[in-house]
Amino acid sequence: MFDSLIIAVYSFARSFIGIITRPYETYRKIINKGTLWELFPIGALLSLYFGINALVKAPAFRPFVLTRHFVKTSVSVVITAFLISFLLWSIGRVFGGKGQYKRFFLGWSYTLIPTFFWFLFTSLLYVIIPPPRTTHPTGIALSIVFLTLSAVLFFWKIILSYLTLRFGLKLDLLRILGILLVSSPIIALYSIAMYRLGIFRVPFL
């Protein structure tokens, strides 16, 4: 078990660099050869964010409040990851996709890395330079930098999500667009529900 975990951490490190430098080839490897053990390092990385999020967002610096906030965020993200990936996989199967859910889920888990970076970067910036941004030239310059970085992470996330659907379900572009068209209203409704429940303002997808 310990050996499997060490191998998984090594594979995760390689895939982590790979999804930046060679996303296409890396995703083929993740879907075909990856193991579910790799979910542990991904989970550890996300837990780091949940901890920081609790420190930044919890209304009081008390162990109970911090723990409650940590548990609420982490459970919500885990449930969201399962629901969204299962939704996409199920619709993908209807569109003629082939592939096991566990392989698809592993691929989807790696798409949480750009999300992790966005949430981490936004949390840290919230502490260093809290909003609102002013219309002063420095405020506009910072806004352009912030939005550009957000867009880079967003496009990176789109590429990884596309590769998850491409390799995880062995589908072509047209069918993938069809899946996104069908799933978007459901994801939008889910995001609104999360917003109303006060869990996510921007959904951690």
Partner 1 sequence: MGNMNDAFYERFQKRWMETTDLPPQTVGPLTPYYKLVTKRLKVMPLPILILLSLGVIIALFFLLGSGVTFLTSLLQRGF
Binding segment toward partner 1, per CB under 8 A, in 17-25, 40-48, 78-86, 89-97: 17-25
In the complex, minimum distance from the CB of residue 135 to partner 1, in angstroms, rounded to a whole number: 4
Radius of gyration of the chain (CA): 18
Among 44, 172, 192, 193, the residue binding partner 1 under the rule CB under 8 A is 172
CA-nearest of 92, 100, 96, 112 to 165 is 92
CA distance 197 to 39: 27
Helix, strand, coil content of the chain in percent (nearest 5): 80, 0, 20
Name the segment binding partner 1 (CB under 8 A); options: 20-28, 34-42, 86-94, 183-191. Answer: 20-28
Q: Does 193 bind partner 1 (CB under 8 A)?
A: no
191 lies in the site for partner 1, by CB under 8 A: no
Query: Residue 10 belongs to what H/E stretch?
Result: helix 2-21
Interaction between residue 196 and partner 1 (CB under 8 A): no
- 13 vs 139 by CB, closer to partner 1: 139
In the set 47, 150, 183, 191, which binds partner 1 (CB under 8 A)?
150
Residue 132: asked if its preceding bond is cis (omega within 30°), the reply is yes
Angstrom distance (rounded) from CA 25 to CA 15 = 10
Backbone angles phi, psi at 9, to 5 degrees: -65, -40
Q: Interface with partner 1 by CB under 8 A: which residues?
A: 20-25, 28, 32, 53, 57, 119, 122-123, 125-126, 130-135, 139-140, 142-144, 146-152, 155-156, 159, 166-167, 170, 172-173, 201-202
